[in-house]
Structures are given as C-alpha cells and as structure tokens.
Structure 1
Amino acid sequence: MASKIATFRLPEDLTQEIRHRAEATGRDRTAVVVEALKQTFGFPDAEPHTATVQELQQELDELTKKVTVLSEQLTKATEKLNTPDLSSQTSRSLEQVIPSQRALGIAHSLLPREAFCTQTIGLDEGATSSRVVLQQELEAEIVQAAAQDSGEVSEPDKLELQELTAKISQQARIFDQVLSACPDPIWVFDRVGRFTYVNLATAQLLGLQQSQILGKTWQQLNIPLEAIDPINNQREVVFATKRPLTIEVSYPTINGIRDYECILSPIVAEVSSVEAVICTARDITERNQVEESLRESEANYRHLFEYANDSIFIIDLSTSRVLDANQNASRRLGYTRKELLQLKTSDIDVPITEERQKMINQQMQTTGSIIFEHALRRKNGTQVQVEISSRIIEYHNRLVSLSFVRDTTERKQSQERLRLLESAFFSANDGILITEVEPLDEPGPKVVYVNQGFTQMTGYLPEEVIGKMPRILEENAQNSTQLAQIKVKLMKREAVCAELIDYRKDGSEFWVELNIVPIVDENGWYTHWMAVLRDITARKQRESLFLEKEQQLGTDLWQTNTLLQAEIAMHQRTKAALRESEERYALAISGGQTKRN
C-alpha cells in the first residue's frame, strides 16, 4: 500500500496517550496512530502478529530490568534526602500495584503484540481508575515521607521523585497490561485466600468485573466449591512447602464444563517467606478430549491387536528380537507372553536355505512387504505350517517388521483332501459332470466341471463342454419320456437314476447309466448338480445277445415241443392201434376156443 507523509498538531494528553501505547506495545508512535485511524474509518485490521514465548519473555525481562534501574534511581534519590524508609515505603506501594515481577515468568501462552493495547482498552473503568488513584496516592506518599524525614523537600527533588514514581507506576501498568493481555486466567492469592490480583481472562471466566473480585475470597464470590476447593487446598500446600504445584480442575462455564490445568507458584519475599501464590490456569479441554480420543483409539487398536485370529509379531529389523506379540502368537507357539518377548526370530523359525532367505530379504528391501509360506517351531519342538504377511513400518522411532502369521495347517489338510478327491474324480473311469443348480428349464444349467473320464467316454474336451448346457449329449437321443421324468425329480431336488442312449462327439451311440445328486453348502442351500455317467454299452450288448439267444432258444424249444407233441400223438395213436389189435387178437383167440369146445 502506498503511503504519504502528513503532519498533525495534537493535544498534549492525546500525544501522551499515543506515547504510552507505543511503549506498551513495543511499536513506534506512527503505527499506533495509523491503527487508531483505521479503526475510526472502519478499515480492516492487518493480520496480528503472534509473538512467540521467547519474544514475550524477552520483553518481560527488559521490563524487569527497567524496574530494577528505576528502583536503584529511587534509592539514590532518597539517600540524598536522608530518607531511608522512603525506598521501602515506595516498594510497599509498588507491591499493591503488581504483586511480583517473578510471577511474569509463569505465563506460557503466545500473546499477540497488538493485544497489549487492545486488551488494556477493554479493561473495566473501575480497574483503570483505580490505577490512576493508586499512582496519585503513591506520589503523595513519597512526597509526604520525604517531607516527614527532612522537614521540607526542595522543588527539584520533589520533581525528581515524582518523575521516578511516574516511571515506576508506568512500568507497573505495563506489567498489568501484559498479564491482562494473556488469554490464560491469572490471579494471585494471599495467605487468607483473598484475590489480590486478577487479569482480564480471570474476570471473564468468573463473569465479574476485576474491581468486584479484588480483596475478596472465593466464598464471598460464590464460586462453585467443587471447582475452587482443590485449588484452595493446593494453595495452602504451596504456602507450606514453597514449591510450585500443578492440578487439573473442571469449571462450569456458559459453554459447558471446561477443564483447566492450574499451576500454583509461590511468590517468595527476600526473607524466604511466601507472601502470595500466583495461579495460571490453562484451558486444556480440547487437549483432554484429544487425549481421550487417542486413548480410545489406542484401546480399540490394542483390542484388535490382541484378539485378532492371526498371530501378530513386531520384530526389530536390526536385532531380530520380538518387540511385541499378541495373545494368539504366544498361545499357538506354547510360550507365555513374557517368554516370547525375550526371544529372537531364530528361536522360533524353522531353518530355510540361504538362497530363500536372501530372496525374502531382497523383496522386503525392494517393496517393503512380502507374503510367503513358512514353518515355525513351537516350544515343544513341533512345527506349524504358516503363511506370513510382513511389512516394514516405523515403530517407536525404529524400523520393524509387522508380521501377520496365519496357521495354514487346516488349510493344507483341506487342500490335500481336495487334491486327493480331485485326483480320484479326475482318474475315475466313470464320467463326472458338475453343473449349476439352475435353470432347469431351457436352456438348462451350465457345466462347470468335467473329469478325464468324461472326456474319454464322450470325446469332448473340457473347454468344449464347460460353460455349455449338458443337453449336448442328449440332443439326438430318443429319451424324451425319460428326460421328462428326470426333470420332475430334479424340480423336487431328488436324486435321479436312469439309463439313456447318448452320442459321442464322433456321433457314435453308447448306453449310459446316469446318476444325478444335488450338492448343498454348509447352510443347506442347493448349489450344484453332480452327474456320474457310466458306460453300460457292453452290458447292454450282453443283455441284447442274451435276449436274442433266449428268443432263439424259445423258438427252438417251441419247435422241439411241436415235434415232440407230434411224436407223442403218433405214439399214442400207435399205442391205441396196438391196444385195439391186441383186443381183437384176444377176442379171436377166445372165439376159436369156444368153437373147439
């Protein structure tokens, strides 16, 4: 922004006020005037500069040195007047203005420089007027003390004393402005528990004017007992031990319950007695909330860590020592947690080849993570097959390996059983075909698996069948009646047993015995159909040959029976004729004998 030089004639009192504000804020008088003009004409304020703790402490140290120099000057002036009690009397008056310079070193907040003047302007009129009256009383006490001791004070000495008093009062006012500019509540207790000083933040916290608080106890101000009683108890301890103490208290405000960290420090006199206790309170509500959130988060993560199904190890990469492990890790390896945390990875690893160890290390260094199968050794010497997923992370300022270890024993056993079952399926002479469970209507369920026996039986390769419908085997078969009966049973989720004529890939016909059973999952849901196809062509041929032979035998038997029946009839006729002949012969013989007689 462009600037121009302008000259103004200002009243003496306004010039004096500008000078005071410039000294209080550490800026030049031009900056103070520009700021006042901006506020008057409604210009936006510049971004306030926030002083660091070191800058604020440096300014306070400089102010302390100035007070020390002024006190020495006051002592020399009183010596000229032979008034030895004037210095102590002035010091007692200054103690009423500000309890102790040493209390300034207790503030920990970062204070904006501009706050020195703006906070002072915001003080209540009672506190400001009390400082003016106090300054006038101080000047009068100094002049009165000098007059009592010397009988009469010369005009130059009187002016010098008044100037020194004004400077000391100004420094005391600056100290008060600094403390009032502090956003943390600061107050001073005397031995009987009265407030001898409160800054603006304390007055705002209590909802009172500063003039309403000074000289009163917390009981007189009706401060909640649960808030002030712990501080009051610690105040008595500080008076007794002369040591600072820290305590946390909660105080009800219009914004709810707020947590404060209160630091109580003794103000020690030259005779090593505690004259007062200064208390600095810092609002730590947000900090406590963050800490509580962190504790909850840590507890949640610890719960996940401890009760995870996998074993979890944290391994120091530089020493290979186990830094931490969860309950499953110690339980599955047979160690107590204390024993496990005293071991190295070499104590629980099953040895592997140098080449494989080098490969694992290289991948960890390259990608920062790795998943591999391994074996660990239990405390009793037995081994457990595991899958390890490791990742490099930073843990307590060191590089570690965070390893999730999963017991694969059951999985290996299941895989072995599945391998054996698949091998049996694959090597079986019967054809095995697995399809989806739906749809049963056209176009039908898709094939998801066929074994080697199916290929040998039908001539179809797996890629020619998988994903297609199983009716490819029956499209030319004369099995409409049987297929309809099979569909009805499948709709009822019943097992099927039937004999059908199917056709191979080359078109040749073969007989198949078809057995279909439903497959269900662990929840009882039907997921697939498994069909076992057995080639029964040879059996059918034998049955057909036997039937033909049986038919031929029947024909032969019928023919033989016909001939036999004819022979029997002829024999019967012959036998009847013979019988008839014998009868005639017998009659003939019988008639001849009768004639002879």
Structure 2
Amino acid sequence: MAINICIPLKKETTNKGTGLEKGSGFENQLLHSHVFSLLEDMPDVIYTVDLDMNLTYFNKACQMVCKDYFGKELVLGANLAQLFKKHDSKKLFQLLEFIKSSTSVKFDDIVSKDGIDTYFEVQINPVFNEAKIHKGVSVIAKNITGAKHAMKEMQYSEEKYRMLFFASPSPMWIYEMDTYQIMDVNDSFLSNYGYTREELLNMTIMDLRPIEDKQSLDEIIKYYKLAKGPIHFGVWRHIKNDGSIIHVEKTGHSILFDGKPCMIEICNNVSEKLHIERKLQLSNERYGFVTKATFDAIWDLNLIDDDLYWGEGFESLFGYKTENNKGDIVGWYEHIHGEDRQRVLQSINTLIKSKNSNWVEEYRFKKADGVMAYVRNKGIVIRDKKGKAIRMIGAMQDITEQKREEQQLKLFKSVITNSSDAVLITEAEPINNPGPRIIYVNDAFTKMTGYDREEVLGKTPRILQGPESDRLELDRLRKALEAWQPCEIEIVNYNKNGEKFWSNISIVPVADSKGFFTHWISIQKNITLRKREEKEKEIFYELLQVINGNKHLEVAMSIVIQKISEYLGFSYAEAWLINIDESKMLYKANWAKDDTSALFRKNMPFESVQKEIGMMGTAWKQKSSIYYANIQASNFLAKENAQMAGLESVLVLPIFLNDKVIGFFNFFLDKPFNQEQLQSDL
C-alpha cells in the first residue's frame, strides 16, 4: 500500500469558522482530519521525513514499533539518522539513498528483538509540494512475519512432498490446478504408464482421460480446489501409452509447487483388484442363484469364528427360519440324531486335522416339525497357504424318500434273489424280432435253466423256446406285450442241455414316473412235475379203462405197456405174469418202437423165468424194482437179445395186486434213463 502525502500533517490542528462553504479552508481541514484518523488507526507503520531525515509525521503503529525495538518515543522533528546510527549504519545509508531518490522503492526488512525476527514489507514513495519540488518521502512498513512463516512452512511442505514423491513406489504426479498442466511425475508413474517424462510434461491430465470422463473430472477438480487436507478422489480411468485403459484409485493433496497452486496425487492401479472384486461379485451372485435354484440346503461355515450361513433351501427343506440366512453351528449340531451326533462331529474334526478336502456323511436330522429326516451332507474344506482349515462349504440333501426307496428296493431285491421262482427282467422293446433283451435274472433262473447269468444277459427269452413250445401260447403272449398288458401262459421251454421242462410264465409291464413303459418283469415257475402228475393221472385212468374193458389179459397188458412206453419215451417193453403156483414167471406181451427194437423177441426169446434166476428173478425175490443202466454189465439173461436190438438200459418194475407181486413190466431204452423216466409214478 502506498500513500503520497504532499502536505506535512501535524497532530494539532485548529478549526476556525462556523460555516462550511464550498472551496473554503474549513472544507480542506475537514478532509485532512478524516485522512489523519484513517492513518492513525492503520496497523501498518507509517511515517514521513524531509530530505534531512527529520520526522514530519508518524502514526500510532510507528510509535509502538520504535518503543518495542529501539526503546525510544518519537517526536516530530526528530532526526532518524540519530536513531538508526546506533543500531544499523547500513540501513541508515540505504535509507539516505532512498530519501535522495525521487523514485518509489519496495523491499523487505527485518528487525530483531531477543532473537525473534519480525519481517516488514517496506514501501518508500517520494513527496512533492504543489510546485512539484521534491520535499521528502513517505514510508509504509507492513508486518509480513505471518506470511513469511507461512511461506517457509509451504516450502518445507513442498520439500517434504517432493521427497516422498520421488521415493514412492506408487505412481505419483503433480499438476497445476488452474491449467491441469502436468508439472512433474515420479519414476513409478513412468514405468506403470509407459510414457517418457518429456511426453508427460507436455501433456495435461485431461490427455490421460477417456473423452467421456473429462467433463466430470473438470467439475470435481473445481470442487476440490478449495479443499484442505488429503482428498480421496475415488476410482478413475486412465489411458496408458499403449492405448489400454486402467482403473486407478486417486488420493491427492494441494501444494505450492514452483510458486503455483498444484495438486499432488497418488494413482494406484486397481484394475486387477476391481477385476477380482467383480469376479467375486459374480461368484456371489451365482452362489445366490444356486441357493435359490437348488433343492439342497447350501451352507458356508467359517471355521475361524464358527459363523454359519444357510442358503434358502434350509428353510424350505427343514422348516427352520434364519435371520439374514445366518445359522447357528450349535443349533445344527443339536438337531442331529443322538446316535449319529458324535460320529458326524468326529468325522468333521478328523477331516480338518488331515490334509484331505472332501467330506460326506449320512445321518438323521430333526426337522422343525419334529420329524426325523435322513440327510446326506457333502462339504469341501478350504485351507490357507499354510494348510490350515479356515472354511467349509457344502450342501445338505434330504434323502428320506431316497432311503425309503432304497430300503424297499433292498427288500424287493431280497425277495427276488431268494425267490424259488425264476425272475427275469427285460427291456420294454422291441416286441418283435429279436425281442426285448434280458438285463437281469436271479439265481433261481440259472438253477432252473442251467444258463449262467453272463450267458443270458443281453439275449432274449426266446433262447428257452424249442420245437415243442406251443406257438398258440406264444402268439397270445406277443399280443399281450404289444398291448402293454399283463399275461400268463404255460409252455414247454428248454434248458441249456436241451432238456425240455414246463414253465408257467407270468409277465407284467413296468412304467416310470411319467407313465412310460420301460421294462418287463417275468416270473417263471417250473411246473414240469405238476404237468407230469396231471398227464400221469390222465394215463392212469386210461389204463384202468383198458384193463377193465378187456377180457383178454394179454391184450390189456400190451396196450398198457404201449401207452406207458409212448408217454415216457421207451424203446421196447414186455409184460410178464407169475403162474398160479408161483413156480415161474411167464411172458405175456411186448411192444416195440421200431423194427430194430423188435429184434429183441426174434432172437432166442425167453418164455419163462425162474424165481431168483436172472434180473427178473432177483426182482421177484426182492419184490422191488431193479434198474441197470448197462445191460451188458448186469445179470440180465437176454443180453444178446438186448445187444441185437440196440437196447442199452432196462428197468424192471413189479406189478402188485393186494400187496402181492403178480408180474413185472420190463422197459428198455437205447440209452440210460433220465430222472423223469425213473421217477414217474406210472
């Protein structure tokens, strides 16, 4: 501030006159009075001197400074040369030069007291009279100690920030807040962004922003210009030298750099962090979707603080309500069935202490309504870098229905496996050739047919059919299959050795939950014995009719041995009767299947047999049947006859009347007898 004082002012003035006229001396004195009051109350040091350095004016601030720093009170007319001479001759000569000069000058000055410096900004202006003759100078000294200290602190702050700036491993830059011009960058910024220092110092911060970000950036910087202290700008996008865009988290602070208001910023690349956070967010979203979509109870257990999180399936499956899906590990543990609880807890503890990751247990769990449910709980352990278990994630399933079905299946399988009836399961189709394939047979089937399980799997049940299998019954079965209807038939089947047997076959279709037929289940009973008993009863009644209907015993016996032989498949047969005195047995009738078998009677035929002589005599004595699989190795009397007729084996059966043997039937075969032939009730 500079004030030119043309007329020396005195502290005492006398106002004469009572009126105020335009241009009067009174008006000028009034103006001088106002100026005088203004100068007196100013905080700045103000004084005037003539060319001889005599004081012509000083204000209150000037008087105060002289008392404090020089220990003297000022009076008008005092010579400043005497004041400065004792304290600073250099300042005295400098002041004399300024007084003699007719130009304005400005400089900083320091006065000290007790080791404390006070700074003044001094302005010296020449004073001229109305004739423009140089009469002296006016001096104004403004106390700038506070500003000086603030400047020093600013410089210290700037030095501190610059030191941190270049040493920081994080990318940092300094830019001017008014022009956005980049003023400086550290080495980390250069390596992370790929620019050279020269390139960046010729750019503004706007050049590193995508176009769509520039307007919002300009508004934010204007807002933060007035902010004090650290400023958190958040996450922004920057363009690297290769054109790629990175996300940086910026923190800044306003500083004075090269005398200009600037902003220093740390620009940490958080692109990878944001990418990971986004992946985590997506993972959490997917996790949330899974918990809503699955029928399982998803759970997440923090092993450090035992925090348990349940998915939405926990409430829907077991009825327990949770607050914000947070569960209670103790509550879960207490709802486990008492007989299973210790086993489940021990298996978890064992897993945590081991290096394994996968866990699965099945146990009983009490639902909110008190009903015990069977559950299967699967989990995986997550470990830190040192292998310590820190977290478990898993899913709990309600397998009550599955357990019930498994138990029923086990029971069903047990029934099928241990059934004395053959059980056979096939695919549903094809009905026509080659027929549905066999996928299961039980042990009774292999025992009945002689086939091993591996021999029939993949084959069709038609492997059991043969020449005597009733086509009418098979056609009836096929029509039922085509109509997906149950069916029951009785038919002749053949075992692995080609031997036929009667089978009662009951077959039903099996459908899935949607009603589609998927399989056939067939239960087959061997009814050969029943069929044989039925046939033998039928033949027996026919034989009774033959015997009762014929007066000639030889004719009747001939018909009897023929019917028995044809039914049981013998090659040749004879009938013998014991005479009245029981002295011998006499031949009565025979039957031959063919001419070869008939040769037995044409070569030296025996007409009678004595008791105890030969095979029939032995059977007569023992009153029992005798079977020889090899006639030639027996005591049979007509061995040569048997050999000529091609007969290999013989069965001698006694004929009883009132528990008394009255005769014998001899049945011959060109091979050994089978069990059916030997065990027939006929």
TM-score relative to the length of structure 2: 0.45
In the TM superposition, residue 324 of structure 1 has moved relative to its aligned partner by: 2.0
The secondary structure found in structure 2 opposite 1:264 is strand
Compute the displacement of 1:411 (Å): 0.5
TM-fit CA distance, 1:413:
1.3
1:309 and 2:261 aligned: no
- Greater mean deviation of Cα atoms: 445-454 or 540-549: 540-549
Instruction: Report the alpha carbon displacement of residue 452 of structure 1 after superposing the two structures with TM.
Output: 5.2
Contact 1:440 1:487 in 2 (8 A): no
Q: Quick one: which amino acid aligns to residue 314 of structure 1?
A: D
Q: What is the CA-CA distance between 1:412 and the residue it aligns to?
A: 0.8
Is the contact between residue 312 and residue 403 of structure 1 (CA under 8 Å) also seen in structure 2? yes
- The residue type paired with residue 100 of structure 1 is E
1:227 and 1:250 in contact (8 A); partners too: no
Q: State how 1:456-475 maps to structure 2 within 5 Å.
A: 457-458=448-449, 470-471=461-462, 473-475=464-466
Aligned match for 2:159, one of 82, 91, 101? 101
Counterpart CA distance in 2 for 1:353 and 1:98 is 73
Secondary structure in structure 2 of the residue aligned to 1:239: coil
SS of match in other structure, 2:226: helix
Query: Residue 238 of structure 1 contacts residue 264 of structure 1 at CA under 8 Å; is this kept in 2?
Result: no
Look up the match of 2:286: 300
* Aligned: 1:248 with 2:306: no
* Superposition pairs of residues 272-291 of structure 1, within 5 angstroms: 275-291=261-277
Task: Give CA-to-partner distance per residue, 1:440-483, whole Å, 9 cap, x none.
Answer: 888876543223554565566756755666455335x5227458
Q: Please tell me whether Structure 1 or Structure 2 has the larger radius of gyration of its CA atoms.
A: 2
Matched, 1:325 2:314: no
* Residues 554 and 515 (structure 1), Cα distance of their counterparts in 2 relative to 1, 3 Å cut: same
Residue 299 of structure 1 aligns to a residue whose secondary structure is helix
From 306, 324, 337, give the equivalent of 1:350.
337
CA deviation digits over 1:218-260, x for unaligned, max 9?
A: 79x9995842544543454352434433233346788365534
The letter of the residue matching 1:267 is I
Does residue 410 in structure 1 map to residue 401 in structure 2? yes
Asked whether 1:425 is paired with 2:419, we answer no
Task: Map 1:69-468 onto structure 2 (within 5 A).
Answer: 100-104=158-162, 107=165, 184=171, 186-190=173-177, 192=178, 195=181, 197=183, 199=185, 226-230=213-217, 232-250=219-237, 255=243, 258-267=246-255, 275-304=261-290, 307-315=293-301, 317=303, 321-338=306-323, 341-344=327-330, 345-352=332-339, 356=343, 360=347, 363-364=350-351, 365-366=353-354, 368=356, 369-394=358-383, 399-428=390-419, 430-436=421-427, 447-451=438-442, 453-454=444-445, 457-458=448-449
Q: Distance in 1 between matches of 2:465 and 2:174?
A: 100
Query: How far 1:326 sits from its partner (Å)?
Result: 1.6
Distance in 1 (alpha carbons) for counterparts of 2:273 and 2:209 = 28
Count of residues paired in the alignment: 401
CA gap of 1:387–1:226, structure 2 versus 1, over 3 A, is closer
Report which structure shows greater RCO (CA 8 Å, sep ≥6): 1
Task: Decide which structure has greater helix share.
Answer: 1
Q: Deviations over 1:500-525 (max 9, x none)?
A: 21245787643223344454555777
Name the SS for the 1:267 alignment partner.
Answer: strand
Q: Contact 2:508/2:522 (CA < 8 Å) preserved in 1?
A: yes
- Distance verdict in 2 for CA 1:357–1:347, change over 3 Å: closer
Identical amino acids, percent of aligned pairs: 20
Counterpart residue type for residue 530 of structure 1: I
d(CA) in 2 for partners of 1:258 and 1:196? 19
Give how far 1:367 is off: 5.6
Aligned ranges 1:10-89 → 2 under 5 Å? none
CA distance in 2 between partners of 1:302 and 1:287 (Å): 22
1:532 aligns with 2:518: no
* TM-score when normalising by structure 1: 0.51
1:206–1:93 Cα change, 3 Å: farther
CA contact (8 A) 2:174 2:262 kept: no
Further displaced range: 366-375 or 535-544: 535-544
Change (3 A) 1:262 1:466: closer
SS class of match (1:335): coil
Structure 1, unpaired ranges of 5+: 1-77, 112-181, 560-597
Q: Secondary structure at the match of 2:363?
A: strand
CA contact (8 A) 1:242 1:274 kept: no
Partner amino acid for 1:332?
Answer: L
1:433 CA drift (Å): 1.3
Contact 1:99 1:188 in 2 (8 A): no
Distance in 1 (alpha carbons) for counterparts of 2:303 and 2:199: 62
Query: CA–CA distance in 2 between the matches of 1:435 and 1:230?
Result: 76
Q: CA RMSD in A?
A: 5.7
CA contact (8 A) 2:437 2:459 kept: yes
